[in-house]
Amino acid sequence: MDEIVEGISLTNEDALKAAGSEHLFIHASAHRALANDAGKRILVEGNGAMVIDIDGKEYIDGLAGLWLVNAGHGRQEIADAYARQAGKLAYASSTQATTIPAIELATKLAELTPGDQATAFFCSGGSEAVESAIKIARQYHFFNGEPKRSKIIGRRGSYHGATYGAMSVSGTRPASEPYHSPFMHGVLHASPSYCYRCDFRHSFPGCDLLCADQVEQIMNYENPKTVAAVIAEPISASGGIVIPPDGYWQRMREICDRHGVLLITDEVINGFGRTGRMFASEHWDLVGDIMTMAKGLCSGYAPIGGVMCRPHVVEAFEGENKLSHLLTYGGHAAACAAALVNLEIFEREDLVGNSRDMGARLKKGLEELSSHPTVGDVRGLGLLAGLELVRDKDSKEKFKDDDPELKTFGESLADKGLLTRVAGVLPLSPPLCITAEQVDRMVSIIDDSLTEMEAAHGFA
């Protein structure tokens, strides 16, 4: 590690940590997190599914950064593609021009995305993609002579981003508490399709998909002609890796179609191989009218996001009907060039197939941990998996994120070499190039850490 650290002006590790603690405000953290939060580390290098910290300790990157380094770390060819394009022309303003990589990436995405989604609008990340989708949906209705269609229906538990509109449509009100209302006007929330903790205390299939029908009830109550769109992840990741029951997406699609409401599928986490298909929508033959994407689009090598639109959506924006929405970095040429090479790697190495196969191995391994007294449920599709931890299997009493048991568990995982975010549902979403040996190691680390935590906190 010395060489790498020496390349930085602050050569001493303690000096680096002190400077970072003082001057760097780390997202979603308290001030001086680097000094005061044992879970914060400085990473210096990565290779495939592994990352190395400043002390030279190696970890499996169990969350692929933040659900995004899908192609894996250390891909020099993506970095080279970025550098080549940046050296030639990094940027062109969308008010006057576009660039070859932006056109090529849009064309590639038209080929890869579900159904007839064929037109891409680029931005710099997932929150911007969600803001863009909401604005495109509202403007679509405006240009189609229905300006009163402005409401958006989201789902409780889902996360769609940190900017104001994206935060408003997210179903994470407790986390948004410091901003308390008013959130964006005209946002409603339905129940998630969370069978393990069904809002209606029903079980599938006897429930006949009440959670989907509730979306229609909300529309009917509000007057469907005031509703612009429904936004949902095909599999809610932040909601706890919530995989909907069969028929859910078909019903949701029918409800939206019946009422002329656009369906925004948020594939910011789900997309680009994460669930064992290029897009999670494909598991249910779902085609969103608008689809958001980011993260795996460039595997974290450049900040880029986007929105895919079906023809009937973009056709509303013709002639005088210009899209009233502009983001400076949208279609950034070097980011698009990097994303193109990222997608080439996906094809060359069949990362989607590896996600499917390694995902099945991971799920099987996690299921074998079900005998632990604190493992309530195991869910997963491809390399998007979650282990729901409970205090009691019968009552399904949850752990809270700051409970001491989770702290012990998280410290043990990191100590044994697995990085992930520790919460009531432990998310597992490693790079898609992960090997079978690394998957097995992840499972065995989780097993050992559960045993340690359960012994330390008196679980039978």
Q: Which chain residues interact with ligand PLP by CB under 6 A?
A: 125-127, 130, 159-162, 233, 237-238, 266, 268-269, 294
Among residues 64 and 362, whose Cβ is nearest to ligand PLP?
64
Answer yes or no: are the C-beta atoms of 140 and 262 closer than 8 Å: yes
The helix (H) or strand (E) run that includes residue 60 is: strand 58-61
Among residues 294 and 381, whose Cβ is nearest to ligand PLP?
294
Dihedral angle sign, alpha carbons of residues 449, 451, 452, 454: positive
CB of 129 to ligand PLP, least distance (A): 7
Q: Which two tokens stand for residue 266?
A: 């948020």
Alpha-carbon separation of residue 356 from 277, 345, 424, 441 (angstroms):
7, 16, 25, 18
Alpha-carbon separation of residue 76 from 45, 79, 85, 144 (angstroms):
12, 5, 14, 47
Answer yes or no: are the C-beta atoms of 82 and 74 closer than 8 Å: no
Answer yes or no: are the C-beta atoms of 292 and 133 closer than 8 Å: yes
**Residue with the CB atom nearest ligand PLP in the bound state:** 126
Among residues 18 and 327, whose Cβ is nearest to ligand PLP?
327
Tell which residue, 271, 342, 335, has the closest CA to residue 75. Answer: 342
Instruction: Tell me the DSSP string of 101-140.
Output: HHHHHHHHHHHHSSTT--EEEEESSHHHHHHHHHHHHHHH
Among residues 26 and 162, whose Cβ is nearest to ligand PLP?
162
CB of 301 to ligand PLP, least distance (A): 14
Among residues 125 and 365, whose Cβ is nearest to ligand PLP?
125
CB of 31 to ligand PLP, least distance (A): 21
CB of 65 to ligand PLP, least distance (A): 11
CB of 268 to ligand PLP, least distance (A): 3
Among residues 159 and 248, whose Cβ is nearest to ligand PLP?
159
Answer yes or no: are the C-beta atoms of 410 and 401 closer than 8 Å: no
CB of 266 to ligand PLP, least distance (A): 5
Among residues 294 and 434, whose Cβ is nearest to ligand PLP?
294
CB of 67 to ligand PLP, least distance (A): 6
Phi, psi of 435 (to 5 degrees): -95, 165
Among residues 132 and 354, whose Cβ is nearest to ligand PLP?
132
What are the residues facing 425 on neighbouring strands?
388
CB of 82 to ligand PLP, least distance (A): 18
CB of 68 to ligand PLP, least distance (A): 8
Among residues 238 and 354, whose Cβ is nearest to ligand PLP?
238
Tell which residue, 278, 304, 308, 305, has the closest CA to residue 290. Answer: 308
The helix (H) or strand (E) run that includes residue 305 is: strand 305-309
Among residues 43 and 162, whose Cβ is nearest to ligand PLP?
162
* Strands 119-123 vs 305-309: parallel, antiparallel or unpaired: antiparallel
Which residue blocks in 113-266 are alpha helix, DSSP H? 126-143, 164-169, 210-222, 248-258
Give the per-residue SS3 of 87-103: HHHCCCCCCCCCCHHHH
CB of 162 to ligand PLP, least distance (A): 6
